[in-house]
Amino acid sequence: MTEITGVVVIVQEGRIEVMGDDGDGHLLILSPSAAAETAQLRDLEKRQARVRVTCSEVPNLVALKADRIEVLDEEATS
C-alpha cells in the first residue's frame, strides 16, 4: 500500500488522474472495495479537490488501484 497526495485533475468513469505533490501524474482506478462510487468522483474533478489516496499496485497494468480516497480540503483549490 502506498499513499499519494495531490489534486484530482481528470476523472473518466472510475479512472482518476491525480497530479501528485511530487509533480507526477498518477493514474488510479477506483477499487470496488473503496467507500466511494464512480458518480461521486466527477465532483472531485470539478472542484479540483485535494485528496490523499491509499492505493495498491496492480499486476500488468500501468495504473494503481485506489483503495481509499480521503478529501483533504472541502474548499476549491483553484
Partner 1 sequence: MNMHPRTQEFTASVLDGPMRDESELTAHVLVRPGKSYGFFTDTTVCIGCKACEVACKEWNNLPADDIGLTGDSYDNTGALSANTWRHVNFIERSGDGGVRDNDQTPFQSGWLMMSDVCKHCHNPPCLEACPTGALFKTEFDTVVVQQDVCNGCGYCVPACPFGVVDISKIDGKAHKCTLCYDRLKGGLEPACAKSCPTDSIQFGELEVLQEKASKRLDELHARGVETAYLYGVPGSPGATGDLGHLNAFFLLTDRPEVYNLPAAPTRASNRVAPALKAGLATMLGFALAAAVLLVSGRE
If you search the block for the grid coordinates 466527477, which residue do you land on? 42
Local structure of 44: helix, strand or coil: helix
Residues that bind partner 1 (rule: CB under 8 A) add up to a total of 22
63 contributes a contact to partner 1 by CB under 8 A? yes
First CA to last CA distance, the chain: 29
Task: Yes or no: say if 35 and 43 are a contact pair by the CB < 8 Å rule.
Answer: no
Binding segment for partner 1 (CB under 8 A), chosen from 46-54, 60-68, 69-77, is 60-68
Euclidean distance between CA atoms 61 and 55, whole angstroms: 14
Residue among 31, 51, 53, 55 that touches partner 1 (CB under 8 A): 31
Binding segment for partner 1 (CB under 8 A), chosen from 12-20, 46-54, 68-76, is 12-20
65 contributes a contact to partner 1 by CB under 8 A? yes
Which H or E element spans position 15?
strand 15-20
Residues that bind partner 1 (CB under 8 A): 10-17, 27, 29-32, 37-39, 58, 60-63, 65
